[in-house]
Amino acid sequence: MSAKTARAGSKAQLAPAASKKASANALWGGRFEGAPDALMEAINASIAFDKRLYAHDIAGSKAHAQMLVEQGIITAQDGRAIAKGLETILQEIESGAFEFKPALEDIHMNIEARLTALIGDAAGRLHTARSRNDQVATDLKLWVRDALDRLDTGLQAMQTALIGQAEAHADTIMPGFTHLQTAQPVTFGHHMLAYVEMFGRDRARARDCRARLNENPLGAGALAGTSFPIDRDMTAAALGFDRPAANSLDAVSDRDFALEFLGLAAIAAIHLSRLAEEIVLWSSAAFGFVTLSDAFSTGSSMMPQKRNPDAAELVRAKAGRILGALNGLLVVLKGLPMAYSKDLQEDKEPVFDACDTLELMLAAMTGMLGDLHVEKDAMRIAAEAGYSTATDLADWLVRELGMPFREAHQTTGQIVKLAERQGCRLDELGLEAMREVEEGINSGVFDVLSTENSLASRTSFGGAAPNNVRLAIIAAKEKYL
């Protein structure tokens, strides 16, 4: 097949109804005599994904039209016609009656074309003193702002589920791990509260991002502002922005807010992935710490005994999509000069996909936590089996015998080795056996060797003592819920 034939075939697949004699684009084609190639239409069109901006585009257009009326730039009659037409279009889109046309490229042109069909020449006056460049920046900021509000709600629901588990298990002993090796005893409640803090930082990042993005690009025009006497403070107030963006070049080319959104989404996704990984481990036969409900488990097509933590595994996997979205947009932006370039059309799909993915991850994890069954006995046995109170023994040697900690550490290590040889826990090792290693040890040592006493002693601020956990739950509710 020749290159010419292949190209003709591609055109037929992409736009079989396109005519070579079609007129230039009616909304921007005054400079052009011919119609764009079908391939150009295919790569240029964004309506397949940016139609999600319809409500924000219409809100921005309403605010802009009202400002034009107030400033005497268009007539009140045209302003009323524009507002009524935009409301009709909103209803059409939300009812599913609106026809999105790829030939019109994007959400802005689709809405404007329909507005023209509804109200005639008045529609052409709406675009006075604005460009698609400031329009799309405004739309996307409004969309991300709403997404951040939804994200905060989802993160708070996650914290509520975590705090619920913490309340139920403030005293439930489990091994704390470092390097995935048994380290010191903690409680399951304390462990859950660690994630409450992590997701709290995610919420703070979302608030910071929202505050920074809340400057209005509308009125910046294509890149240099406009000669019309517009009131940018008015449109900013109408759209809930704190102020107009200060520099017209920056207003149309800034996508920091999209990067920040993807960045905080990536961090939140990592937190979810870490929790998902722990659920995968804990629900395995090797750990047996938790049991997932049927609602969040799947079976095997071959092995009837299996209960697979697929929901948790998919939460863990989907974090990669969000990390990819962040990296992808960073690469798109890295070489762009001022001000607007069509490359910026590639900002929306990663933002939309990351938001959808994160919202699904949050909902799934919140559901999993809500009906997670904790196997208390298995957790306690694991905590007692790994010499998790060895640090308590070393601390006792420091307090009671005045040993330097490094010497106490070495002495404790020798006692642990002795317990390993005898196949027993530290609190089961006889006093005489311990005195073979350090003759100053007395029976008071047994006060610190049980997991209960070890936990009860961790009373420093932020520590794992059950009483601390209960106080931390109260504080977390006041701070986050």
Angle at 107 between CA 105 and CA 109, to 5 degrees: 60
Q: How far apart are CA 264 and CA 320, in angstroms?
A: 14
Which residues is 187 bridged to in the sheet?
173
Instruction: Give the residue from 425, 417, 421 showing the smallest Cα distance to 389.
Output: 425
- State the amino acid at position 222 in one-letter form: A
| CA count, 13 A, side-chain hemisphere, 173 | 21
Question: Within 283-335, where are the H helices?
Answer: 310-333
Number of C-beta neighbours around residue 414 at 10 A: 12
Contact 439, 403 (CB under 8 A): no
Q: How many angstroms separate the Cα of 24 from the Cα of each of 28, 30, 394?
A: 8, 8, 83
* Largest pairwise CA distance in the chain: 101
Contact 354, 322 (CB under 8 A): yes
Element (H, E) at 276: helix 256-282
Contacts of 372 (CB under 8 A, 6+ apart): 165, 279, 290, 291, 292, 293
15 Cα distance to chain centroid? 37
Q: Note every long-range contact of 62-65, with CB atoms under 8 Å and residues 24 or more positions apart, other chains counting.
A: 62/86, 62/238, 63/218, 63/234, 63/235, 63/238, 63/239, 64/126, 64/129, 64/130, 64/218, 64/235, 65/126
- State the amino acid at position 361 in one-letter form: M
The catalytic site residues sit at 179, 300
Which residues is 290 bridged to in the sheet?
374
| CA count, 13 A, side-chain hemisphere, 418 | 20
Contact 82, 119 (CB under 8 A): yes
The token pair at 346 is 């590639």
The token pair at 261 is 């959104």
- Three-class SS state of 402: coil
Instruction: Give the residue from 220, 27, 41 showing the smallest Cα distance to 141.
Output: 220
Kindly tell me the burial class for residue 133, based on how many C-beta atoms sit within 10 Å of its own C-beta (0-12, 13-18, 19 or more): buried
| CA count, 13 A, side-chain hemisphere, 26 | 11
